[in-house]
């Protein structure tokens, strides 16, 4: 077969059982459901159980995506895992996931691009597929942010949640991933960071998330706008050609600004931030899976994925379903 493109042929996702509502958080920090909801659109988030690791969440999402694609784990030629909350320093969470899937030999590696991780992972896997050497790839975004939050800091702990999403890419003679566009600017590293590291047998530096919320907000809105323009121009498409926007789910106000830029009504935007909060690299595949399974995203439609995250990193992928 003379194919040099890839298509998404299956999606899956997983959310830990435990739900933490804004009302629950009112009991822990000086906040209110009203403050959180009006500033962010978040009502609740899922929290991994003790002992439930990022690779466990990834495993459930991957199994679901494999079932949807109608292939076995043994058919995979490539595993790309986007996470900022790996199980351990090494091996990579992708390798741990591969072992849990019960397969061997295919390349498996992590991509670290924080909230843009899934778009980075998808673009990476698509590039591999375009060489023609791979038939089936698994791209997973999975996170356990609950482990890197300062639960006494109301300005950050209310924003994030745990979860995982996955897609299976299949080699095809026509493109599903039409284009992807990745960017980074490390000069913004301090605006959103977990500055801890392991050194000399100890954790050195603060291993908890810290953020300049206003700075992130400003940058994210502009970056999302630029991504829309870039993705449309690269494909010679108009805003009206986009059927669905599946943005990173950080904050409903950032999402609304991006939809406005596209001239899309919010009915054409997949929103999960109210129920999932910000699950970083997992947020886009979680949202995608929901919209595919409930029948909103259908064959032949154009779907724009876009994300901004720590680094800063930002990226978009334009996908024909
Ligand atoms: N509950 C109640 N009050 C709070 C809370 C809280 N959870 N958190 C902060 N406040 C207070 C602040 O202390 C401040 O009080 P003060 O005026 O007495 O000093 C007041 O609320 C306003 O704080 P701001 O930070 O100015 O609030 P803002 O309206 O900017 O909203 C927010 C903050 C929601 C974090 C916003 O800046 C934002 O969404 N930024 C984007 C951050 C983000 O999404 N990061 C995720 C990772 S990056 C990404 O995924 C794109």
The pLDDT tens digits of the residues spanning 102-125 come to 999 999 999 999 999 999 999 999
Q: Where does a domain end: 139, 158, 174?
A: 174
34 Cα: distance to centroid of ligand 1 (angstroms): 13
> Tens digit of pLDDT for each residue in 144-178?
999 999 999 999 999 999 999 999 999 999 999 99
- The reply to whether 155 and 262 lie within a common domain is no
| Same-domain pairing of 82 and 192 | no
Q: What is the mean pLDDT of the chain?
A: 96
Closest CA to 305 of 82, 43, 48: 82
Cβ of residue 277 lying under 6 Å from some atom of ligand 1: no
* Distance (Å, whole) CA 194 – CA 245: 29
Range of the domain at 232: 178-320
Claim to verify: residue 116 and residue 242 sit in the same structural domain: no
162 & 228 share domain: no
Percent of the chain with pLDDT over 70: 99
Measured between its terminal Cα atoms, the distance across the chain in Å is: 21
Question: Does residue 163 sit in the same domain as residue 286?
Answer: no
* CA torsion through residues 86, 89, 95, 101, sign: negative
Are 313 and 217 contained in the same domain? yes
Q: Is 190 a catalytic site residue?
A: no
Closest residue CA from atom 3 of ligand 1:
31
Q: Residue 22 C-alpha to ligand 1 middle, in angstroms?
A: 15
The pLDDT tens digits of the residues spanning 1-42 come to: 456 999 999 999 999 999 999 999 999 999 999 999 999 999
Which of residues 120, 154, 174 is at a domain's end?
174
* Residue of minimum CA distance from atom 9 in ligand 1: 155
Nearest atom, ligand 1, residue 154 CA: 7
CB 40 within 8 A of CB 159: yes
| Number of domains making up the chain | 2
- Which CATH number belongs to the domain containing residue 170 in this structure? 3.40.47.10
pTM: 0.96
Instruction: Say if residue 218 is in the same domain as residue 170.
Output: no
Q: Show contacts of 21-25: CB within 8 Å, 24+ apart.
A: 22/158, 25/157, 25/158
Residues 64 and 105 in one domain: yes
251 belongs to the catalytic site = no
């Amino acid at each position: 077969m003379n194919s040099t493109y890839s298509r998404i042929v299956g999606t899956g996702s997983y959310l830990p059982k435990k739900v933490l509502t804004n009302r629950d958080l009112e009991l822990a920090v000086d906040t209110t459901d009203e403050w959180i909801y009006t500033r962010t659109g978040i009502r609740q988030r899922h929290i991994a159980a003790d002992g439930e690791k990022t690779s466990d969440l990834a495993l459930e999402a991957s199994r679901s995506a494999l079932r949807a694609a109608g292939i076995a784990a043994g058919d995979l030629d490539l595993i790309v895992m986007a996470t900022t909350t790996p199980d351990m320093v090494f091996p990579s969470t992708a390798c741990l996931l591969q072992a849990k899937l019960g397969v061997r030999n295919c390349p498996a590696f992590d991509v670290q691009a924080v909230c843009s991780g899934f778009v980075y992972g998808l673009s990476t896997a698509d590039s591999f597929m375009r060489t023609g050497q791979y038939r089936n790839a698994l791209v997973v975004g999975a996170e356990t942010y609950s482990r890197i939050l300062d639960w006494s800091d109301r300005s950050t702990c209310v924003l994030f949640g745990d979860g995982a999403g996955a897609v299976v890419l299949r080699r095809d003679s026509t493109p599903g991933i039409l284009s992807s566009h990745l960017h980074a600017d490390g000069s913004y590293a301090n605006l959103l960071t977990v500055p801890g590291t392991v050194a000399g047998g100890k954790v050195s530096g603060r291993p908890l998330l810290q953020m300049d919320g206003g700075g992130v907000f400003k940058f994210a809105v502009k970056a999302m706008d630029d991504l829309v323009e870039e993705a449309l121009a690269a494909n010679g498409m108009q805003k009206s050609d986009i059927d669905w926007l599946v943005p990173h789910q950080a904050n409903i106000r950032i999402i609304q600004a991006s939809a406005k830029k596209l001239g899309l009504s919010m009915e054409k935007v997949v929103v999960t931030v109210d129920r999932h909060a910000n699950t970083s690299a997992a947020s886009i595949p979680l949202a995608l899976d929901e919209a595919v399974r409930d029948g909103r995203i259908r064959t032949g439609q154009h779907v724009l994925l876009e994300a901004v995250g720590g680094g800063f990193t930002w990226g978009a992928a334009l996908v024909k379903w």
